[in-house]
Amino acid sequence: MKLTTAGESHGKCLVGIIEGLPSNLKINIDEINRFLSLRQSGYGRGARQKIESDKAEILSGARNLLTLGSPLAFAVVNKDYENWRDVIAPEGCDVAKKQVTAVRPGHADLTGLIKYGQTDARNILERASARETAVRVVAGTVARQYLRLLGVEVSGYVKSVCGVADNGEYTFEQLEAAKSQPLFMLDKEVQQKAMRKIDELQKEGDTAGGIIEIRVKGLKSGFGSCMEYSEKLDARLTAALMSVQAIKGVEVGLGFDVANRAGSAVHDEIYYNGKFYRTTNNAGGIEGGMSNGEEIILRAAMKPIPTLMKGLNTVDYMTKQPVKASKERSDVCAICAAEIILESVTAFALSQAVSERLGGDNMDEVKARYSALKGL
């Protein structure tokens, strides 16, 4: 299974193509649109989201909402394109309009300009923008629908915003409640503090990141590999998380805390009472690069959005003069968007690992092969 995406932030639309989906997977468009709308939500989101109301359009690869086994192509239209047509239209536009040369620290602007031989950072930022993640949410939701038929679910929540942290522990079932909260947090007192922090940062023209936890329930053991480094499940899932704009750190299970503990306080001891079991899950559901049947636990750190309304110090790429970095509008905090995107890329990367192991041209074959697996 493979996903290709295309599209610019203010271009006509974003498009995605998934290759390798089996036939007869029922596509639930309402669920796709629900996740698209959740990706647009959250306290601290900027004015762009008032313009867009993202909806997925399936272009090919399905008939009467059942996949055909052919590439599944889809699009999400950018409503803002109507305001940008004369600046960005591929078939002809005024490239002198809305040029960006006050390159933003933390964005792709400067390095991208040099790498791609450009003089207008618009040619870099339009693609580097996190707007691209809308189609990754479409693909991720299709992947969820594939995984759900095998009994596998992906969920998550926001653990902290700019250092305001929820240190609680929650069951997988409790996580769903996060999505109806303004910051996808489960501790409402902590969430209030985090919202006040966002308000303060907004007044100062600043931005916030945070930490997100993603969990996977119901995956049998043995996905991934202890034989091939490139197929290790933890490597593949963390690469998927790191592929999301603004993610700067990832952890599996105890993560960085393993380094502070003795081995006896890290490794999950094994017991048997008719079946193998453990009483802890510090490994986060992955041992030796393979799922071990426990819940998969991943965490990711999102950096603050690099477009600051107060403007950071930088240098104009053309004049080489010191200036304040470019800004038009910005999210103060896009942590809820990131949470939905991270769930989506996790679901997609997991579907890839599952389909590589199981193959299957149609969903009945996939389901039969999954249920025949011996696993924990």
Residues that bind ligand EPS (CB under 6 A): 9, 46, 48, 125, 129-131, 134, 307, 329, 331, 337
Neighbours of 300 (CB within 10 A): 28
The nearer residue to ligand EPS, 218 or 306, going by C-beta atoms, is 306
Q: To the nearest whole angstrom, how small is the minimum distance from the Cβ of residue 337 to ligand EPS?
A: 6
Q: To the nearest whole angstrom, how small is the minimum distance from the Cβ of residue 237 to ligand EPS?
A: 22
Q: To the nearest whole angstrom, how small is the minimum distance from the Cβ of residue 131 to ligand EPS?
A: 4
Which neighbouring-strand residues pair with 247? Answer: 302
Q: To the nearest whole angstrom, how small is the minimum distance from the Cβ of residue 70 to ligand EPS?
A: 28
Say how far apart CA 148 and CA 350 lie, in whole Å: 12
The nearer residue to ligand EPS, 133 or 238, going by C-beta atoms, is 133
Q: To the nearest whole angstrom, how small is the minimum distance from the Cβ of residue 181 to ligand EPS?
A: 19
The nearer residue to ligand EPS, 9 or 221, going by C-beta atoms, is 9
Contact 50, 331 (CB under 8 A): no
List b or e across 169-179, with b for residues whose CB sees 16 or more CB atoms inside 10 angstroms. ebebeebeebb
DSSP 255: G
Q: To the nearest whole angstrom, how small is the minimum distance from the Cβ of residue 155 to ligand EPS?
A: 21
Contact 122, 98 (CB under 8 A): yes
Which neighbouring-strand residues pair with 336? Answer: none
The identity of residue 110, as a single letter, is L
The nearer residue to ligand EPS, 47 or 227, going by C-beta atoms, is 47
The nearer residue to ligand EPS, 104 or 197, going by C-beta atoms, is 104
At residue 6, the 3 state secondary structure works out as: strand
The nearer residue to ligand EPS, 137 or 162, going by C-beta atoms, is 137
Contact 190, 165 (CB under 8 A): yes
DSSP line for 95-119? TTTT---BPPTTSSHHHHHHHTT-S
